[in-house]
Structure 1
Amino acid sequence: MTKHISLIAAIAIGLSSCTKKFDDINTNPDKATSASSEWLATNILTSVTSSDISFNNNFRQPYTLGKYIGWTEKVSDYQYNKMVRVDFGRLLVLRDVAPMIKNATTTELKNTYDGFGHFIRAWQFFQTTMQVGDIPYSEAIQGSTGVIQAKYDTQKEVFQGILRELDQADSLLTNGVNFSGDFIYSGNVDKWRRLANSFQLYVLINLSKKTTDADLNVINKFKTVAARPLMRDFKDNFAVTYTASAGYAYPWSNTAAQLNSFLDYPVLSSYLLDPMKATADRRVFYMAEPSPAQISAGLTAADYNAYLGIDPADELGTIVTNNNTGKACRVNKRYEQMYNAEPVGLLNYWDIQFILAEATVRGWISGTDAQTYYANGIKGHMNFLANYAPASYAHGMALDEAYINAFPATVALTGSVENQIKQIITQKYIAGFFQNSDYNAWYENRRTGYPVFTLNTATNLNTPASSFPLRWMYPQKELDYNAKNVTKALTDQYGGNDDPSAAMWLLK
C-alpha cells in the first residue's frame, strides 16, 4: 500500500510539472488577459448601430412594414402585415457592459463608461419590449451568476427601469470625460448626454396613453427631461456614416465597394409621396425617381405630377403591373449610386423636434410654441438632405436656404389637437424615409394611427384579416428553454395566446 501511494504521488507531481510546462509554453505573454474598455465600447456600439442596420434586402424590411415602399419580387410578409417570431439576441451584447466599466483606467472614465452603459442598456431593452411587451429585465444577462431562465418583468416595470437608467446616464455623463472607442461622436461626452436625454423624450412620448399612471408621472417627467441638453442639429444625430469599403458602404448602394441585387424590386408608396406632392415639398425629388409612364406622357422630372405612388396594400399582381407599365416610382438613384448616400440615423435631431411639437400640442410643455418645434423638425431634415445629397440628384428642384426657411409656414399647424398631431406625425413620417431602421414609423402608426394605412382584407396576412397586427411573437428559443417564464408572460398579457393582434400594456 505504501508503495502504491508513493507511486501515485510521484505520478501526480509529474503530471503537475508537465501541465505547468505546457501552460508556460502555450501562454502568449503579449496577449491581453482582458479586453480594454475602448475595445468593448466599440464592440457594443457596433452591435447597436451598424450591425443593427441591415444591408440590401434586409435593409428595406422596416420600410416595408412602415409602408414606405411596396415590394415587387414576391409577396413580402411585412408589406402584408404578417408578423414573425423575434429573438432576444440584441440583449447579448449587454454582457460587455460590466467589464467595460470595470476595466476603465481612471475613476472619471469608469463613471463615463457607466453612463454610456446605462444608455446602451436602456436602448436595447426599449427596442426589445416595443416588439413583444413583457420581457426579462431585472434578471436578464445574468447567466454568469447562475440565472439561466430569467423571469419576465411587466412592460410597465421595464419602462420604469429604462427611465431610471436614462436618468443615471444623464447624471454620470454630466460629469463625464471624453472617451475612446466611440465611432459615432468620437467620444464627445456632451453629445452622448444630449442623446441620452433626447432618447428619454422618445421613450416618454411612446407612453402617451399612460399619462394618468401616477407611478410613471409621464408629463412631469417629460417637462424635466425637456429642460436638459438635447440634440441641437443633424450633426448630433445618432447615425452611422458610410465609406467606400465592403461592409461599410451605404446599405442600399450598388457600387464597386458593395453589390446590391435587389434594386429593381422596391416602388414608393402613396403614403410617402402624396403628402409631399400635395404641399409642393421638394423632398420628393430627393427620394424618388419619376414615373417612366409620366415622363413618356410629356411631364418633366421637375413636375410633382410625374411621381406616382402605389398602395402597398394592393394585390401584388396590381403593384407589379403598375411597375411594369411605368406607373410607379423607384427610389432616387443616389441611394444606389453613392457609397455614402447619407448617414443612417437610429434617432435624429428632427425626431426630437417633432416630439417636442407633439408634447406642446398635447399640453405637456409650454414656453415655445408647437409651430417652432415643428418647423425646426422640417428644416432640420431638409438641411440634412441638402448637405448630403448632391443637387444633381434633385431633378432640377434642389433645396436652397430660402425654400427651406419658407416651407414650414406652407404646412403650418392648424385645427384641432388631433389634426395637429396628424400633421406632426406626417412630417415625421416623411423625414423617416430610409432612416429610423428600428421600426420607428410602424410604432408611430401603431401609437397614433398616422399615417392612415389601407386595411385590405383581401391581402392582409394578419389573423384576423380585419385588423392590423400590433406586435411580433416571442422567440422560439424562449419557448424551448424558458417556457415557464414566457408562458406566464403570455398568460398575464394575452390570455395565453402568442397573438400578434393582441394589444400590449403600452397600447392600452
Structure 2
Amino acid sequence: MRTLSKKYIAIGLTVLSLVGCSGFDELNTNPDAAVKTSSSMLATGLILNITDVTIASGKSFLSPHFLSKSVIYTEFAEDLQYNYLGRTNYDGIPTLTNIEKMIAFAPTEPLKNSYTALGKFIRSWKFFDLTMRLGDIPYSDALSGEKGTVAPKYDTQKQVFAGILTELDEADKLFAAGTKFDGDPVYAGDITKWRKLVNTFELQVLLNLYKKTAETDLRIVERFKEIVTSRPIFTSNADNFQLVYSDKAGQRYPFYKLGNPAVIYPMISETIVGKLKSLDDNRLYYYANPSPVKVASGSAVNDPTAYIGTDPSMIYSSISSIFGTKNYSPLNSRYTELPNSEPVFLLSYPMMKFILAEAALRGWVTTSTASAYYSEGITAAMQFTASYTPDNALYHHNMKMTDAYIASYVASDKVKLAGTTEQQLSQIITQKYLATFLQAPYNAFFENRRTGYPAFPINPASNGNTPATKMPIRWLYPQKELDYNTENVKQAISSQYGGSDDVNLQMYILK
C-alpha cells in the first residue's frame, strides 16, 4: 500500500487521448508536459478511476453513507438520505477503453501479463458495481464502439456475473505469471498483493450469488471453496484495497476541513450510535463527538449518554431544528482535523473475514468456524480504527481500544456469535456495518438490500421512494440509454421487470 501521491494524481489527469500537432501546436507545446503515454500512465488513471474518483471528497464523500443511514446531512434534504435513487449513468465505462492501450504498450511478456490482469480486475470491478445497481447491463458489447457498435446489446445479470467470475479467475493466473509493474498508487505494483485483492473480491462477488447456488453452471460454492483453500487472499489490514492520505495538496483525507464547507453539517445517525451503545462498543468514541450541549451541562466526554444519534428518517424540518439546537453528536474531530486521518478502503481484510464468517454459516467452507472468522473480523476492524487514531483524548475521548479491550469486547455475551442461523447472520452483517463506517461506499446499502441487516428506519412522511413504506432496491437506467439505445434497454427492462423501470423490482441476484 502506498500514499496517494501528487505524482499519481497528476499522471491520472494527463491520461487522455493524444493527437498529432500542427505547426502552431508545436510552437505552443509545453516541453515539460507529457507528450507520450505509457502502460504505467494508463494504469494510474484506471486505478484512480475506481479508487479516488469513487471515494470523492467533501459532501460527495459522505453521500453513500446518507443512503446507508450512518450519517445525516443538514444543509439540505439530500436525495440519498431520503431514499431517492433516481437514474444512474454509464459515465465510468468509456475509460475502460484505455485497458487495451495499457496492455499494448507493455514492453515485455511478464509486464503484459500484469497489465492484462489489472485490466481484467478493473473491468470486473466496474461492471460489478453497475450490475449491482441495475441488473442487466451492456457487458460483452460495452466497449465495442471503435468496432462500430453504437447500440450495445444488454447481457443478462447472470451472464454478467459469469463473465466477471471468469475474468477474475483469469486475472489471478495472469498476475501469477506477471511481474511487478509501474503506475500503481495502491500496492506499488506488487503482484502478490494484487492476487490477494482479485481473489478476495471474487469471494465478495460469489457471496452476492448466494441465492443461486442451485445453478450449477456458476459453480458458486465450488469456486468459493477453491479460492479459500488454494489461492492467496487478504491476510491482514496491510492488504486492504485503500488509499492512504498525507498532509500535502491533493493527498489529504477526503473530508478534511481545508476548503471543505460541508464540515459543519453532518450528524451521526441513531442507526449506528444505538448499535454501538447497545454493544458497549468503544468505536462510539472514535466515530462521533459528544453533544456539545451535554458536555456544557456537565457530562463527561466518555459518558455514553452524551452521545446522541439522530433518527435519519425524520422529516428534514425536524432534523434542521435539532441542528439548530446543537444537541446532537457530530462526526469525530479526527475526520475533519487530521489531513491524514485514516485510509479509506473499498475492500478490506475485516470485510473479508465477515464474508468468510457468512460463508461458514451457510456451510460453504469448513476451513474455520463462523464464530472464529467473525471474531477475527471484529478484532481486525477495531485494530484498524485504533491504529490510525492518534493517542489524543480529542479523538478517542479517553476510551482507548487497547488489545485487552478488543479481546474482552469480542468475548462479551453481547457480541459473541450465538443464536439461530438468522440471528448469527444479523450479527455478522451488523459488525460489517460497524466496520465500514465512512468506508466502502454503498457496501452497507447493498448488504442491507441482500440480507435486511441492519434494519434501516423508514418514515412514510419523509421517504422519497414510492411506495413510502419501502426502501428502493435499484437505480433507474440512464436517460441517455433510453434516448440512444432505446430498443436494447427497453428489452432489458421488459425481460427483467415486466416493462416497468421500477426501483422496487427485484433483479436476478435478489430472487
TM, length-normalised to structure 2: 0.91
Structure 1 equivalent of residue 329 of structure 2: 329
CA distance in 2, matches of 1:168, 1:217: 16
Residues 94-115 of structure 1: CA deviation (Å, up to 9, x unaligned): 1111111111111111111111
Which residue pairs with 2:298 in the alignment? Answer: 298
Q: How does 1:117-196 map to 2 (within 5 A)?
A: 117-196=119-198
DSSP-derived class of the 2:82 partner? coil
Taking structure 1 as the reference length, the TM-score comes to 0.92
Query: Where in structure 2 are the equivalents of 1:216-295 lying within 5 Å?
Result: 216-227=218-229, 228-254=231-257, 258-295=258-295
Task: Tell me what 1:370 maps to.
Answer: 370
What letter corresponds to residue 314 of structure 1 in structure 2?
A: M
Name structure 1 gaps, 5 residues minimum: 1-18
- Give the match for residue 101 of structure 1: 103
2:25 and 2:456 map into 1 onto residues whose CA distance is 65
Counterpart in 2 of 1:310?
310
Letter of the structure 1 residue corresponding to residue 354 of structure 2: F
The CA distance in 2 between the partners of 1:363 and 1:135, in whole Å, is 31
Counterpart of 1:5 in structure 2 is none
- 1:326-475 to structure 2, matched below 5 A, reads 326-392=326-392, 393-410=395-412, 411-437=415-441, 439-475=442-478
**Aligned-partner residue type, residue 481 of structure 2:** E
The whole-number CA distance in structure 1 between the counterparts of 2:190 and 2:270 is: 40
Aligned to 2:8: none
Shift >6 Å, 4+ stretches: 19-33
Find the aligned partners of 1:450 and 1:291 in 2 and give their Cα distance. 27
Q: C-alpha offsets along residues 395-446 of structure 1, whole Å, 9 cap, x if unaligned?
A: 1111112112232111100001100010011110011111002x10000000
Once the two structures are superposed, residues 259-294 of structure 1 have per-residue CA deviations (whole angstroms, 9 ceiling, x without a partner) of 111122111111111111112111111100002233
**Cα distance in 2, alignment partners of residues 32 and 273 from structure 1:** 49
1:27: how far off? 10
The one-letter code sitting in structure 1 at the alignment partner of 2:158 is K
Query: Which residue number corresponds to residue 4 of structure 2?
Result: none
CA distance in 1, matches of 2:316, 2:26: 66
Instruction: State how far apart, in whole Å, the 1-side matches of 2:214 and 2:322 are.
Output: 48
Residue of 24, 36, 39 corresponding to 2:38? 36
Cα distance in 1 for partners of 2:104, 2:347 equals 28
User: Within 1, Cα distance between the matches of 2:32 and 2:455?
Assistant: 60
C-alpha distance in 2, partners of 1:75/1:30? 46
- Flag the 1:24–1:46 CA change in 2: closer, same or farther, 3 A: closer
Give the SS at the match of 1:389: coil
> Deviation at 1:34?
5.4
Measure the CA separation in 1 of the matches of 2:419 and 2:33.
Answer: 66
Give the whole-Å Cα distance in 2 for the aligned partners of 1:248 and 1:475: 32
Give 1:284's aligned amino acid.
L
Structure with higher Rg: it is 1
Amino acid at match of 1:114: T
Paired amino acid for 2:165:
L
Identity in percent: 45
Q: CA deviation at 1:25?
A: 9.3
Structure 2 unmatched runs, 5+: 1-20
Q: Distance in 1 between matches of 2:259 and 2:26?
A: 47
Deviations 1:46-84 (A, max 9, x none): 111112211111111100001001221121111111112
Worse-superposed segment, 418-427 or 169-178: 169-178
Summarize deviations over 1:292-328 as a string: whole Å, max 9, x none. 2332343211112211111111112222233333331
User: For 1:335 and 1:316, how far apart are their aligned partners in 2?
Assistant: 24
